[in-house]
Structure 1
Amino acid sequence: MRIVFTTVLLALSAIATALSVSALPYYDWKAGQLEPLVFVTAGLWALFALSLVTLRGVSGRASVVLVLVGSLAIGVAAMAGPPNTSTDSARYAWDGIVQNAGISPYTYVPSDPALEELRTDWLFPAPVDGECVGERIMTVDEQGTGDLVCTAINRATVPTIYPPASELVFAGVRAITGAGPEYWPSQLLGLLVSLGVTVLLLRALQKSGRDPRWAAIWGWSPLVATEGITNSHIDIVSALLLLVASLLVASGRRWLGGAALGASIATKLIPVIGAPALLGRRPLRVIVASVAVFFVLYIPYVIADGIQVLGYLPGYLTEEGYESGTRFIMLSLVAPGPASLVLAAVLIAATGALVWWKTDPANPWLGQLVMIGVTLLVVTPRYPWYALLLLPMIAMTGRWEWLAVPLALTERLLIPSVDLARISVAVAIVFIVVMSIRRAGWVIVSPRESAELAPQK
């Protein structure tokens, strides 16, 4: 009955995922109102939680099969329609198309007429009666000419923000599919990566004597389905590479682990926070390998474009409020303005130092969990896909309470209310702290109870 019940819940999750992608309109968070996707997402997280609970009653090979089948079914369902909360994968496709034409993605902005011959109809649809129409279509002025340009690419007037390893992935995908296919090539990549992470987690959990059912935290997660597959965020690739790096270092292969870490950082930069848990008392091999791979991946683009390889990163950080400190929604309560940036840097650096000091690279999972989780809680990004890095670490430790972090960040994306986001993050912090205290076996008693429990002389 547990197998049947879990199967039904997974089927419902797959159906709800497919309907949310195919039947609901593109979600515009700037509208500032509750839309159906908010309620469907809440339902998906509820089904996810129930599925994890019922899976506890399933053991042996059946549980492994359920994890794999559920991961595949939900992942395929997530490909039922185009992106529903983000247009980032349109930029991925464009960067790949440009590179396969022999042009560096850092040289020209998408609205530059120099690339006009590369513009495809689905990325640059023609105006209708002098206007740009479509859920994912934005209006920009062509660089230099000022002509109207309709495009699915966000920030089409600035250079790409993505590091070289991401750009190589984008080029590889479009080298296989060409420029014509719309969003499904990136979604298929997301599905394949998702399944790969599920398999890696199953093997790693079994090999280390842990419960393989924890792999469902990744495989069945609404975050993986929506942000890793439907919206195809490249963060799913960096999460895979960081998991591989951690597994390699844990098995003693520090050179290879460092290389995988460098590739992960060169994919999205954020995975640098995964380094402290992998360094230990002999950090040199990991550091040298990761730095070497990182710079090797950058060299061809630096030769072509020099400092332009930074792309829109500096502007993006300013735009998002990280330079001024306004984006740190929790820290700004106690340290408004630029002081939030300083406080965030201190907290993250202190966490990194503690993780480096306390973590054994042969068992890096709790250190990774704390480092990534604390960073997300400090930075409080409006983009929940950053938490894709965290999910494999939750699975490897079984500390399910940290799922409160991606859940809070998902709420922050879908409901544009800073006050509500602060409440969500605060609840997540309290919940994690309480559960961590319980896991540590600490008991808090009153002075009177302490006196009663004291041994009598």
Structure 2
Amino acid sequence: MIATTDSATNSAASAALGSCVRRHWSVARAWQTNVALGLIGVALFLLTRQLVSEYDHFTIGFSGVSGWSCILYLGAAFLVLTQPVDRFTFPIILGVAVACRVVALDAPPYLSSDIYRYVWDGVVQHAHISPYRYVPGDAVLAFLRAPHQSIFDKINRRDYAHTIYPPAAQVLFYLITWISPTITFMKTVMVLFEGVTMYALVTLLQALGLRREQTLLYAWCPVLVWEIAGSGHLDSAAMAFIALALLVRFRKRPVLTGIFLGVAILLKLYPLVLFPALYRRGDFKMPATIAAVIALGYASYSSVGVLVFGFLGGYVKEEGMATGARYFLLELSQYIPGLRGLSTAPYYVFCAAVFAVIIWWCWRVAGSGGDNRRKPFASDGVAGFLSPAFGLASALTFLFSPHYAWYIVWLIPFFTLMPNLPILTYVLGFFYLYTTPLAEPGPRMFLANKILYASVLGAFIIQLVLKRWPIHRSLFVQPVIASESL
């Protein structure tokens, strides 16, 4: 009888507490969350269709599509991070993500022509020729043009640039074109790699006690729909292997961590910067595995000698990386008294100092026990390595200020695991400005970067203020709702 009374009392108290929470203006029921997400999802789907139609007929322009997409994405992110969810929420998220990507798959790439080089490199390999040996316009490869004329005609830099893509990328191109040497199939495979990324993110989130519905931050991000489903960029495969590396690092599997990170490096090179964060002090298996994977990859194409590095050196010069002409922070320093005329050497020293600080942070985390589950992202947390990994990825991006949207997509898996206002501002701000006339290299792009970096700085200050004085918690209650299984 006493137990029954206590149970009834507890139930009444819980009901009263639940009623109190529900009375807060910002809290909805799960079905209301689902309806709102469904409506936003339909709007995002229609905007994706509009994006495809904008290729041929101007209506609201790319900036109109991107701007409205960003607004809808913000609304969806707010809902999934602050409102109740149920077992129907995750299927809605997946359904919208798939629908938006399917719409973009069949459309020809418009904002980038890199994918044509992917297909061409695969075709060349099927002719038993190294993709690094000749430029596409070389007369030696003339016999391949007629069967693939529509591909050849749209290859950028075809008359002077050897392929820039590393060995794992070439293996991937070979396998994909072995099945179907078409643009649509290449894009389809890149979207399938996003499925791998989603799997790793869902598994990590649930292992950390977070809601799987948080993957909406990745699945509905408009820049991914544009750059992966729309343009088929290789960065999707790199993201998949990065996400897998994070997952197996969390599970403390050093050999698998080395394999996945090594493959990611052989796809796009820049994941190398994550090595200090994924390293565990005293572990020799992971670095040895990475070295072996990279050595095996380059050895497979070593018959061409130094040509195996392709157009990398030329691309560095062409994009102003060698002279620092396109590094925003270096360019900005020319307007600061006392720093005018600053050369690239001091800037590289500054960059090295920034990375040294983050690597020291990585070293501290690498030596911690990593068993704190209450604060998983703390230095001694079970996922303590994720914060410095995110820091390294962000530092590389901010310091070297990429000018193309596909170079920032690798930040989105980290953002999905650890949402924060500065990176949200950077990703959406970059994406929107990238679709405006300000994306033109020169003074316009410098202005765009000033707007972007100032916005990120403002977002960082706001986040610090909210962390110190969390007034937002009294305005928007975050319910503690468990994610249900399908």
TM-score by length of 1: 0.83
Corresponding residue for residue 329 of structure 2: 330
* Distance in 2 (alpha carbons) for counterparts of 1:171 and 1:117: 18
Q: Give the Cα separation in 2 of the matches to 1:242 and 1:383.
A: 20
Q: Is the 8 A contact 1:241 1:264 kept in 2?
A: yes
In structure 2, the residue matched to 1:151 is 153
Counterpart AA for 1:389? W
Q: Is the 8 A contact 1:91 1:153 kept in 2?
A: yes
Residues 348, 378 of structure 1: 8 Å contact kept:
no
Shift of 1:429: 3.1
Output the CA distance in 2 between the equivalents of 1:245 and 1:253.
9
Equivalences for residues 384-403 of structure 1 within 5 A: 384-399=405-420, 401-403=422-424
1:50 aligns with 2:75: yes
Contact 2:122 2:174 in 1 (8 A): yes
**Which of 338-347 and 292-301 deviates more?**
338-347
CA contact (8 A) 1:18 1:79 kept: no
Max radius of gyration: which structure? Answer: 2
Counterpart amino acid of residue 175 in structure 1: W
Q: Specify the code of the residue in structure 2 equivalent to 1:166.
A: A
Letter in 1 for 2:34: I
Instruction: Give the Å deviation of 1:35.
Output: 8.0
For residue 13 of structure 1, what is the aligned residue in structure 2?
A: 44
Corresponding letter in the other structure for 1:88: D
Partner of 2:273: 273
Query: How much does 1:341 deviate?
Result: 3.6
The answer as to whether partners of 1:105 and 1:160 remain within 8 angstroms in 2 is yes
Question: Compared with structure 1, are the counterparts of its residues 422 and 218 closer, same or farther at alpha carbon in structure 2 (3 Å cutoff)?
Answer: same
Structure 2, unaligned runs of 5 or more: 1-31, 334-338, 371-381, 472-486
Q: Say whether residues 1:39 and 2:70 are aligned partners.
A: no
CA distance in 1, matches of 2:246, 2:215: 16
Q: Work out which of the residue numbers 331, 336, 359 in structure 2 matches 1:352.
A: 359
Which amino acid letter does the alignment assign opposite residue 75 of structure 2? L
1:167 aligns with 2:162: no
Distance 1:88-1:123 versus aligned 2 partners, 3 A rule: farther
Q: Deviations over 1:318-348 (max 9, x none)?
A: 1111111111112322254424344333323
Q: Which residue in the other structure is 1:260 paired with?
A: 260
Relative distance call for 1:152 and 1:406 in structure 2 (3 A) is same
Counterpart position of 2:138: 112
Following TM superposition, by how much is the alpha carbon of 1:424 offset from its aligned partner in structure 2, in angstroms?
0.8
Structure 1 match to 2:394: 373
Number of the residue aligned with 2:286? 286
Unmatched segments (≥5 aa) in structure 1: 28-33, 126-149, 444-457
User: CA 1:412 to 1:305, structure 2 compared with 1: closer, same or farther past 3 Å?
Assistant: farther
Q: Which digits, 9 at most, give the CA deviation of each residue in 1:205-253, with x for residues without a partner?
A: 1122112121111111111111122111111111110110111011010
The answer to which of 376-385 and 112-121 deviates more is 112-121
1:129-154 per-residue CA deviation (whole Å, 9 max, x = no partner) reads xxxxxxxxxxxxxxxxxxxxx72001
What residue is the counterpart of 1:199 in the other structure?
A: 199
Mapping 1:39-188, distance limit 5 Å: 39-55=64-80, 56-120=82-146, 123-124=149-150, 151-156=153-158, 157-177=160-180, 179=181, 181=182, 183-188=183-188
Two-structure CA RMSD over aligned residues (Å): 2.4
- Separation in structure 2 between the aligned mates of residue 102 and residue 114 of structure 1, nearest angstrom: 13
Could you give the per-residue CA deviations for residues 90-119 of structure 1, whole angstroms, max 9, x where no partner exists? 100100110111111000000101101111
Pick closer, same or farther for the CA change 1:390–1:38 going to 2, 3 Å. same
Instruction: Name the aligned partner's letter for residue 424 of structure 1.
Output: L
Q: Give the C-alpha shift of residue 411 in structure 1.
A: 4.1
Distance 2:51 2:37 in 1: 21
Per-residue CA deviations over 1:164-217 (Å, capped at 9, x if unaligned) read 01111111110001x3x3x21121012211122223212221122112121111
Identity %: 25
Query: Taking structure 1 as reference, are residues 440 and 161 closer, same or farther at Cα in structure 2, changes over 3 Å only?
Result: farther
Query: Residue type of the partner of 1:275?
Result: F
Map of 2:27 onto structure 1: none
Q: What are the superposed Cα offsets for residues 249-287 of structure 1, whole Å, 9 maximum, x if unpaired?
A: 110101111111111001000111221211132342221
Q: 1:439 maps to which residue?
A: 467
Q: Tell whether the 8 Å contact from 2:198 to 2:215 is kept in structure 1 after alignment.
A: yes
How much does 1:401 deviate? 4.0
Q: Which runs of 4+ in 1 moved over 4 A?
A: 120-125, 359-362, 440-443
Matches of 2:313 and 2:229, distance apart in 1: 27
TM-score, normalised to structure 2's length? 0.79
